[in-house]
Amino acid sequence: MSVRTDLSAGKRDGRTAGEPAEGLAGRLSGRTALVTGGSRGIGRGIAERLGREGARVVVHYGTNETAAKETVAAVEAAGGTAFALGQELGVPGDAAALWRAFDELVGEERGLDILVNNAGIAASRPFASIGEEEYDRIFAVNTKAPFFLAQLGAQRLRDGGRIINVSTGLSRAAAMPDLIAYAMSKSALDTFTRYLSKVLGPRRITVNAVAPGIVDTDINAHWLRNDEQAWAGAAAMAALGGVGTPAEIADVVAFLASDDARWITGHWIDATGGSLA
């Protein structure tokens, strides 16, 4: 079947999604951001957007170095500064190893201003057949890694910094029962977000979660892009109509990373296009 495209063409508010509003370009200048899972999909969209806002972006990847370098090149082509950093998540000592590599890459004196915990994996099997190994892996990547990345990252975060966790609309709605383990792991991340906002609040570090709905990424391509019926069903779930794009999620993250969101913390931001309405 032919691939359906979103009729909005990424211009739902009159400008291209991911394009900074007039007067906002450069609002993250001088700041350093780390985006985990930043080589593809939503993570790449976030990395590119933060780069356009002036942040120095460290693009973390697990295994796909080529994709990470492509993201770095895209940030640099837009006039930004970016670096690729490889480290597998979900293994013992992952957070400590990542931060050691980060310090070597950007220099300890530069510190960190924005941590985006975006890296995550979904479940390949439903409740009746998922095994312990896969279940543990999902929680190791989606929940444990962000916990310890934030714990060790807090030592590097400057006062007034930002932690943004990428959650999912599935932590609030049982729309896809086969992804029960994934939804559980993200629900735990939501709880972590609320509690951590209290822990880091005295330092004026905000902690928020952004919850996408169905987003058009390469991870979803096998069931979404080449099936008109699946695309139409996904689009119908959103009150705003259409399937989300990485750039639209990145817009929300860029707002939370900016000074405009300095009085917002401990929140779960619905970025599903109204799928939960």
Reply yes or no on whether the pLDDT at 8 is more than 50: no
pLDDT of amino acid 174: 82
Whether 234 maps to a domain, the answer reads no
Residue 46 · residue 116 · CB < 8 Å? yes
**pLDDT reading at 16 higher than 90:** no
- Answer whether residue 208 is part of any domain: yes
Q: How many CB atoms lie within 10 A of CB 209?
A: 27
Contact of 140 with 114, CB cutoff 8 Å: no
In a domain, 265, yes or no: yes
- The closest of 146, 125, 174 to 275, measured between CA atoms, is 174
76 in any annotated domain: yes
Residue 84 covered by a domain: yes
| Average pLDDT of the residues in 223-229 | 78
| Domain around 183 | 32-218+245-269
Structure token digits, residue 13? 């508010």
pLDDT given at position 219: 72
Per-residue pLDDT, 217: 84
> How high does pLDDT run on average in the chain?
90
**What integer pLDDT is reported at residue 259 of this predicted model?**
97
Q: What is the pLDDT of residue 5?
A: 35
Indicate the angle between helix axes 180-200 and 145-153, nearest 10 degrees.
20
Residue 155 lies in a domain: yes
State mean pLDDT over 76-82.
96
* Inside any domain, residue 99: yes
pLDDT for 107 equals: 83
What pLDDT shows up at residue 143?
Answer: 98
Cα dihedral 37, 207, 113, 90 in deg (nearest 10): -30
State mean pLDDT over 89-95: 98
Q: pLDDT of 17-72, one tens digit each? A: 555 544 446 899 999 999 999 999 999 999 999 999 999 999 999 999 999 999 99
- Please state the rounded mean pLDDT for residues 216-228: 76
Q: Tell me the pairing of strands 268-271 and 206-212.
A: parallel
Which residues make beta-bridge pairs with 130? none
Domain harbouring 254, CATH code: 3.40.50.720
**Confidence bin at 176 (pLDDT 50/70/90):** confident
Cβ within 8 Å of residue 164, ≥6 positions away: 114, 115, 116, 117, 207, 208, 209, 210, 253, 256, 257
Give the mean pLDDT of 124-135: 95
Reply yes or no on whether the pLDDT at 147 is more than 90: yes
The number of folded domains in the chain is 1
> Which percentage of the chain shows pLDDT scores above 90?
74
Both structure tokens of 62? 């697990």
Q: Is residue 89 part of a domain?
A: yes
